[in-house]
Structure 1
Amino acid sequence: MAPIIFELAVWQSILLCLLFAVIYVGSLYVWLNSVTKNRDHPETIKQRFMSVGLISVIVPPLLWLFGTTSSSEKAHSIFEWLGIRFSGVLAAFILPLLLTMILFTGPLALHYMDGVFRLYLEPKYWTTSFQNLIWIRNHIAAPFSEEFIFRACMLPVLVPTVGPGWAVFLCPLFFGVAHFHHMIERVVQGQHEVADALKQSVFQLFYTTVFGAYSAFLFLRTGHLMAPVIAHAFCNHMGFPAFNEIMGFQQSVRHRIIACFVVGLVSWWFLLYPLTSPYLYGNTVYEL
Structure 2
Amino acid sequence: MEENKVSLSKPVAMIACIAMTLFYVAILYAPTLILRLPPPQSFKNFMIRRFICAAISSFASVIFCALVLPIRSGEASYLFGVYGIRSDHIWQAVLFPLFLTNLMYAGSLMLKSILLVNKWKEHRNQDGRPLLCSIKSTLLSFSDQMSSVASNVLFWRNLVVAPLTEELVFRACMIPLLLCGGFKAYNVIFLCPTFFSLAHLNHMMEIYGRHNYSLVKASMVVGLQLGYTVIFGSYASFLFVRTGNLIAPLVAHAFCNYMGLPVLFVPRKGIVSVAFVAGMISFALLLFPITRPDLYNDRTNNCRCWQGYCSWN
- The bucket for the TM-score relative to the shorter chain is 0.7 to 0.9
Determine the C-alpha separation between the residues in 2 that align with 1:81 and 1:21: 19
SS at match of 1:159: helix
Q: Size of the alignment, in residue pairs?
A: 269
Q: Is contact 2:32-2:39 (8 Å) kept?
A: no
Matched, 1:173 2:173: no
Matched, 1:93 2:108: no
Residue correspondence of structure 1 range 43-54 to structure 2 within 5 A: 43-54=45-56
Matched, 1:135 2:155: yes
How far has the Cα of 1:68 moved from its partner?
5.5
Q: Is contact 1:13-1:68 (8 Å) kept?
A: no
Counterpart pick for 2:144 among 100, 124, 130: 124
Q: Is contact 1:84-1:225 (8 Å) kept?
A: yes
Please list every run of 5 or more consecutive structure 1 residues that lacks an aligned counterpart in the other structure: 1-7
Q: Is contact 1:143-1:233 (8 Å) kept?
A: yes
Residue 19 of structure 1 is matched in structure 2 by: 19
SS at match of 1:202: helix
Aligned residue type for 1:262: V
Q: Deviations over 1:229-284 (max 9, x none)?
A: 1001110111112446x12xx2xx32x21110110000001111111111111164
> TM-score with structure 2 length normalisation?
0.79
Q: Is contact 1:129-1:136 (8 Å) kept?
A: no
SS at match of 1:29: helix
Q: Is contact 2:264-2:273 (8 Å) kept?
A: no
Root-mean-square deviation (CA, aligned residues, Å) is: 2.6
Counterpart pick for 1:189 among 210, 234, 244: 210
Residue 78 of structure 2 is matched in structure 1 by: 77
Determine the C-alpha separation between the residues in 2 that align with 1:30 and 1:61: 20
Matched, 1:277 2:292: yes
How far has the Cα of 1:49 moved from its partner?
0.7
Determine the C-alpha separation between the residues in 2 that align with 1:37 and 1:259: 49
Bigger Rg, structure 1 or 2:
2
Matched, 1:286 2:301: no
SS at match of 2:30: coil
Aligned residue type for 1:271: L
Q: Is contact 1:13-1:67 (8 Å) kept?
A: no
Please list every run of 5 or more consecutive structure 2 residues that lacks an aligned counterpart in the other structure: 1-7, 121-137, 301-306
SS at match of 1:32: helix
Q: Is contact 1:99-1:268 (8 Å) kept?
A: yes
Matched, 1:159 2:174: no
Matched, 1:202 2:203: no
Counterpart pick for 2:274 among 248, 254, 259: 259
Identical-pair percentage: 32
Aligned residue type for 1:205: L
Residue 241 of structure 1 is matched in structure 2 by: 262
Residue 304 of structure 2 is matched in structure 1 by: none
> TM-score with structure 1 length normalisation?
0.86
